[in-house]
Chains A and B, each alone.
Chain A
Amino acid sequence: MSAETLTRPAAITRDAIRDLFDDYYATLDDVRLHDWPDFFTEDCLYRVIPRENYEAGYTLCTMQAESRGMLKDRVTGLTRTQMYAPRYYRRFPTAPRIVAEGEGPDAKPYVQVRHNLLLVQTLIDKTSDIVLSAVCHDKVVVDEGRLRFVERIVVFDSEMIPNSLVYPA
């Protein structure tokens, strides 16, 4: 594919989106955290937000990043400063559904995708727990010749997080 065709949203095929999500979740499930920010554009918006805030129009998020740099800082905070019990996270996404196509403020064409996500945590000596039951609203663009998230909003129904949300969704 030439670079020209890649800049059209038509280049963002269903298969390519599916591959993006497969890679994304595999990276997180394998805890390759340093590879995670690379799934996002430099000026991305990333939010993990309680449904009640989202519906009330509150922008306050449980986890937020306004740039790839902030995502990297999240990884640094997580790997070098935070203390938490060892755990496994496993993510169960449903198949992505393309809901819209559009152009961002920078005239960059994007495809808007929606899917559900279940995030399950297992701690030592414990049965597995659901950390988040969520719907993800993602905007995917072509950036530097690959698909990336320019926006990812994870809206979670879960009323009560079982203690902490350690890893990203």
Chain B
Amino acid sequence: MNISVRPPEGRVWPADADAAVPYWVYTDPETYAEELRKIWYGPHWLYVGLECELPNVGDWKTTTLGEKPVVMVRSAEGEISVVENRCAHKGVKFCQARFGHSQELICPYHQWSYALNGDLQGVPFRRGVKRQGGMPADFDLSQNGLNRLRVEEVNGVVWATFSDETPAFREYLGEKFWKHYTRVYDGRKLEVLGYNRQHIPANWKQMQENIKDPYHAGLLHVFFATFGLFRADQKSAVDIDDEGRHGILISRKGEQEKTEAMADIRNFQGDLVLEDPRVMDVVQEFPGEETVGMITIFPSVILQQQVNSLTTRQIVPKGVGGFDFHWTHWCYADDTPEMRLRRTRQANLFGPAGFVSADDGEVLEMTQQGACGSPDEHFILQMGGREIAPTDHQVTETAVRGMYRYWRKVMGL
């Protein structure tokens, strides 16, 4: 592990408060523990999965929110429950498979059984055996169920929160982001195309930052720049919500041509041609001229629409210096076979072996390596100035500044 150096006493923040961030935000175990409490288990909606992953009553899926294992289960017709995957008796993580189907949830240790919604139903030998032993007379089944989370299913996506204070999901997003969200999650039925899973040895916030940072997209991702999928000279925008926590990068597909803006990209490959260009067979499918909408919903997920590739990218923090990254690639249930194939092909651009997103995982690991030796130094966040406001260009770190302003507010730092 890469946690050895302690941050300075009092966790000093640089004087240039909005435009610099100390590296201890990536390395300090106490900060991380506080993040779990105040952010992950605080008043925030966390991504759990897609509604279509559980077609039938009794279907369940396990996942992790923050560091807490949970079960998302279709507990009744038209109802999805999210319960902590922790037996009320001794805390056993009772569901071990990724997916399953059962009429009730049973813990393997002493076989306490729970209804699909988490209510405790049965405790073996509750009355003892031959009048010996058993639970005390005042043991109340109804008071000892699984911990249930608040749940909202919103246009095919299931969200949960540990906090009673979290506002309704639409309010949590804000009207602006509700509009961005419903552009792709428009109420049509979704269907899973498949999963990708990777562990990235970097602090979880770096993934949020990476997707809030359009400055890197046209530079690091030479494949994108080369084929015009994400270019600095395209008409584009960065939007952030009023709190600064959610962000979206909006862009258009351009052409493979050398322009003045491309001169700054040292390794631009203007002569590169594909032998089999089917991976670049892109069709316009959403209203408007934009072909890219990368949404970061703080803190747990990235909702990707990159040309015809649609994924949810769930962040599961694993200690201060790493996170698991779960990709769910999906399509619309009424997509043609051609569209499914197109989306599947474009998945070669993304995921742990993606032509563009493998770059991201690699560079985040390098960032963590650079940060962990110098927690008391800080990084520069001045691209596009010190403002925190939507822009109509990509040469900015405004959304990253927004996230840290919000983060400091929640963390009380």
**Could you tell me which A residues sit within 8 Å of B by CB distance?**
48-50, 52-53, 56, 58-70, 72-74, 76-77, 80-85, 159-166
Contact A70 B197 (CB under 8 A): no
Q: Give the complex CA separation of A74 and B348 in angstroms.
A: 9
The residue in chain B whose Cβ has the minimal distance to the Cβ of A168 is B353
B362: A residues at CB distance < 8 A: 83-85, 163-164
Counting CB contacts under 8 A, is B31 at the interface? no
Task: Please give me the 7 A-B residue pairs with the lowest Cβ-Cβ distance, nearest first.
Answer: A60-B194, A69-B276, A69-B275, A58-B194, A81-B222, A81-B223, A164-B358
Show 10 A/B contacts (Cβ-Cβ < 8 Å), sorted by A.
A49-B194, A50-B194, A59-B194, A60-B347, A62-B352, A67-B275, A69-B276, A160-B197, A163-B352, A163-B361
Do B274 and A161 touch across chains, with their CB atoms under 8 A apart? no
Question: B4 on the interface (CB 8 Å rule)?
Answer: no
Chain A residues, CB < 8 A from B44? none
A63-B348, A63-B353 known; 19 new pairs, CB 8 Å cut-off, are A52-B98, A52-B195, A64-B345, A64-B347, A67-B275, A70-B276, A72-B276, A74-B348, A76-B275, A77-B223, A80-B272, A81-B221, A81-B272, A82-B355, A83-B359, A85-B362, A163-B198, A163-B201, A165-B353
Contact yes or no, B269 A62, CB < 8 A: no
The residues of A that contact B278 with a CB separation of less than 8 Å are 66, 70
The docked-state distance in angstroms from the alpha carbon of A82 to that of B324 is: 22
Q: Are B276 and A159 in contact (CB under 8 A)?
A: no
Please count how many residues in chain B sit with their CB below 8 Å of the partner chain's CB atoms. 41
Contact call A160/B199, Cβ cutoff below 8 A:
yes
Distance (whole angstroms) from the CB of B96 to the closest CB of chain A: 12
Q: How far is the CB of B325 from the nearest CB of chain A, in Å?
A: 9
Cα distance A120–B347 in the bound complex, in angstroms = 24
**Contact flag A161-B194 (CB < 8 Å), given A70-B279, A73-B276, A77-B355:** no
Q: Type the 1/0 row for B261-287, where 1 means its CB is closer than 8 Å to any CB of A.
A: 000000101001011101100000000
Contact partner of A60 among B193, B201, B226, B361, CB < 8 A?
A: B193
Question: Contact at A164–B344, with CB atoms within 8 Å?
Answer: no
Chain B residues 168 to 214 lying within 8 A of chain A, measured CB to CB, are 192-201
Minimum CB–CB distance from A134 to chain B (whole Å) comes to 13
User: Would you call B276 and A61 a contact (CB within 8 A)?
Assistant: no
- Contact between B355 and A159 (Cβ–Cβ < 8 Å)? no
Known contacts A70-B279, A83-B220, A165-B358, A59 near B344 by CB under 8 Å:
yes
If the complex has contacts A161-B199, A163-B362, are A62 and B353 also in contact, measured as CB distance less than 8 A?
yes
User: Which residues from A are CB-within-8-Å of B220?
Assistant: 83
Scan residues 347-378 of chain B and give those whose CB is less than 8 A from a CB of chain A. Answer: 347-348, 351-353, 355, 358-359, 361-363, 365-366
Task: Give B225 Cβ to nearest chain A Cβ, in Å.
Answer: 8
A47 to chain B minimum Cβ distance, whole angstroms, is 11
Cα distance A58–B193 when bound, in Å?
A: 6
**Interchain CB contact (< 8 A) of B195 among A50, A63, A80, A166:** A50
